[in-house]
Amino acid sequence: MPDRPLPFDQPVFVTRPLLPPLEGFVGRLRDVWSSGWLANGGAQHQALERALSEHLRCAHLSLFNNGTIGLIVACQAVRLSGEVITTPFSFPATPHVLSWNNVTPVFADVEPGTMNLDPAAIEPLITARTTGILGVHVYGTPCQVDAIDEIARFYGLKVIYDAAHAFGAEIDGRPIGSFGDATMFSFHATKLFHTAEGGALAVNDPDLKRRIDLLKNFGIRDEEHVVMPGINGKMSELSAALGLEVLKLVDAERTRRAHIARLYAQRLAAHAGVSLLRPPANVRDSLQYFVVRIDPAVAGVDRDRMHERLRRFNIVTRKYFYPLCSRYSCYRHLPSAQPANLPVATRIASEVLCLPFHGGLSDDDVHRICDAIDHAIAEGA
Ligand SMILES: Cc1ncc(COP(=O)(O)O)c(C=O)c1O
């Protein structure tokens, strides 16, 4: 067995928010203070919307106070109702936004490679009540957008993508926000690009953008006209100001994360039972998470035991996304939620583990994490 590595002095988390130099942020806050304008589409908001439209190459972008409200609004804006087919392998927000729209989530199984909605599993679930598909580009790996688009066009369904993890991802050079009817990005502090709390919707249709902008501001068209039952989804000037400073750091953070990913891949290649989620060759990685799958039969240790053993070294890994959304008490009664219908997702959820992955990790940190993984495997079952 390898020597027992020393635990980290402080917990090492899966991620760490990207913090821009405080002076730059304070400079922007001064501008906000002197404008006296804290919300409702002020100068910072306008500047961030422009900057992100350019960065993400979106036809139209609307900023939100968080990604979940953005998704709720997207469902309203494209008028989802009845049933919507979605993945069980995601964060709670994905099915919950359907519930908040009085829509029943219908869970379809995922593909073993991308861990995203399996297009072949979608079609058998379509009923007269189905109005849309809510795909998730989980961990930033894109869904099979062409196959999903073909099904949606044939059956007349709307497509919304949850790209909470997919900031900066591309398929064959095409930006991730250009697929489907609407795409949501999350700018939560845990995301590579963030505004502390925040999010955005990207759409191609200018009329849809107008509807979204009304919906996120209570449906207020002007001082005397409220034209639809909207909600408050607006991003504040403070968040937008932070986002403008964080955006300056994104390219360097991506470079550092790409290096860390290569280092992990080199070290973990020694373990046949630990496989990596690698984006397909035609995909630009969002570098949001570093995910491994642990096959207990080959590794000699299962995911839960690895999670516990790494905790002893002060390494805090996450079992994203266990349990499956279909196992939540609010969804487990649904016919589509039965584990027998979701064999791939059920297996994946028991094998995935997200390792610490952010630009604040030194090469030495990554080696120490890998030493701890070596040790956890050498300990065996
Ligand atoms: C897949 C997915 N969808 C939606 C969300 C919700 O985004 P937000 O926290 O910005 O509301 C998250 C949050 O991490 C997520 O991981």
* Residue 95 C-alpha from the chain's centroid: 14
Compute the distance from residue 266 Cα to the ligand 1 centre, in Å: 30
> How many other C-beta atoms are found inside a 10 Å radius of the C-beta of residue 48?
27
* Residue 70 C-alpha from the chain's centroid: 13
Please, is 365 exposed, middle or buried when counting C-beta atoms within 10 Å of its C-beta (0-12, 13-18, 19+)? middle
Q: The dihedral of CA 366, 368, 372, 375: what is its sign?
A: positive
- Could you identify the atom of ligand 1 that is nearest to the CA of residue 136? 1
The C-alpha atoms of residue 344 and residue 81 are separated, in whole angstroms, by: 27
In this prediction, residue 272 carries a pLDDT of 94
The C-alpha atoms of residue 231 and residue 69 are separated, in whole angstroms, by: 9
In this prediction, residue 2 carries a pLDDT of 73
Could you tell me which residues are beta bridge partners of residue 170?
Answer: 175, 284
Compute the distance from residue 245 Cα to the ligand 1 centre, in Å: 21
Q: Confirm or reject: Cβ of 288 under 6 Å from ligand 1.
A: no
Q: Confirm or reject: Cβ of 66 under 6 Å from ligand 1.
A: yes
In this prediction, residue 1 carries a pLDDT of 72
Compute the distance from residue 380 Cα to the ligand 1 centre, in Å: 35
Q: Confirm or reject: Cβ of 135 under 6 Å from ligand 1.
A: no
- Could you identify the atom of ligand 1 that is nearest to the CA of residue 71? 4
Fold of 250-379: Aspartate Aminotransferase, domain 1 (3.90.1150)
Helix (H) or strand (E) holding 253: helix 250-268
- Could you identify the atom of ligand 1 that is nearest to the CA of residue 199? 10
Could you tell me which residues are beta bridge partners of residue 164?
Answer: none
Nearest partner of 160 among 227, 70, 91, judged by Cα: 70
Q: Confirm or reject: Cβ of 87 under 6 Å from ligand 1.
A: no
Helix (H) or strand (E) holding 275: strand 274-276
In this prediction, residue 278 carries a pLDDT of 84
The C-alpha atoms of residue 375 and residue 102 are separated, in whole angstroms, by: 49
Q: Confirm or reject: Cβ of 136 under 6 Å from ligand 1.
A: yes
Site to substitute for ligand 1 among 63, 66, 68, most atoms within 8 A of C-beta: 68
On whether the CB atoms of residues 86 and 117 are closer than 8 A, the answer is yes
Nearest partner of 164 among 139, 182, 145, judged by Cα: 139
Site to substitute for ligand 1 among 188, 291, 352, most atoms within 8 A of C-beta: 188
Compute the distance from residue 30 Cα to the ligand 1 centre, in Å: 30
Q: What is the pLDDT of residues 284-310, one digit of tens each?
A: 999 999 999 999 999 999 999 999 999
In this prediction, residue 196 carries a pLDDT of 98
Fold of 22-247: Aspartate Aminotransferase; domain 2 (3.40.640)
Q: Confirm or reject: Cβ of 68 under 6 Å from ligand 1.
A: yes
- Could you identify the atom of ligand 1 that is nearest to the CA of residue 186? 10
Q: Confirm or reject: Cβ of 177 under 6 Å from ligand 1.
A: no
Q: 222-235 as b/e, with b when 16 or more CB fall inside 10 Å?
A: eeeeeeeebbebbb
The C-alpha atoms of residue 39 and residue 44 are separated, in whole angstroms, by: 9
Nearest 10 degrees: Cα torsion 345, 91, 308, 367: 100
Site to substitute for ligand 1 among 15, 96, 186, 201, most atoms within 8 A of C-beta: 186
In this prediction, residue 172 carries a pLDDT of 97
- Global pTM? 0.97
Length of the chain: 381
E strands in the chain: 60-64, 83-86, 104-107, 130-136, 158-162, 170-171, 174-175, 182-186, 199-203, 220-222, 225-226, 274-276, 283-284, 290-294, 352-355
Q: Which amino acid is at 114?
A: T
On whether the CB atoms of residues 296 and 274 are closer than 8 A, the answer is no
Compute the distance from residue 78 Cα to the ligand 1 centre, in Å: 20
In this prediction, residue 4 carries a pLDDT of 87
Strand bridging mode 104-107 / 83-86: parallel
Compute the distance from residue 285 Cα to the ligand 1 centre, in Å: 18
On whether the CB atoms of residues 122 and 148 are closer than 8 A, the answer is yes
Domain boundaries along the sequence of the chain: 22-247, 250-379
Name residues of the chain where pLDDT drops below 50.
none
Q: Confirm or reject: Cβ of 322 under 6 Å from ligand 1.
A: no
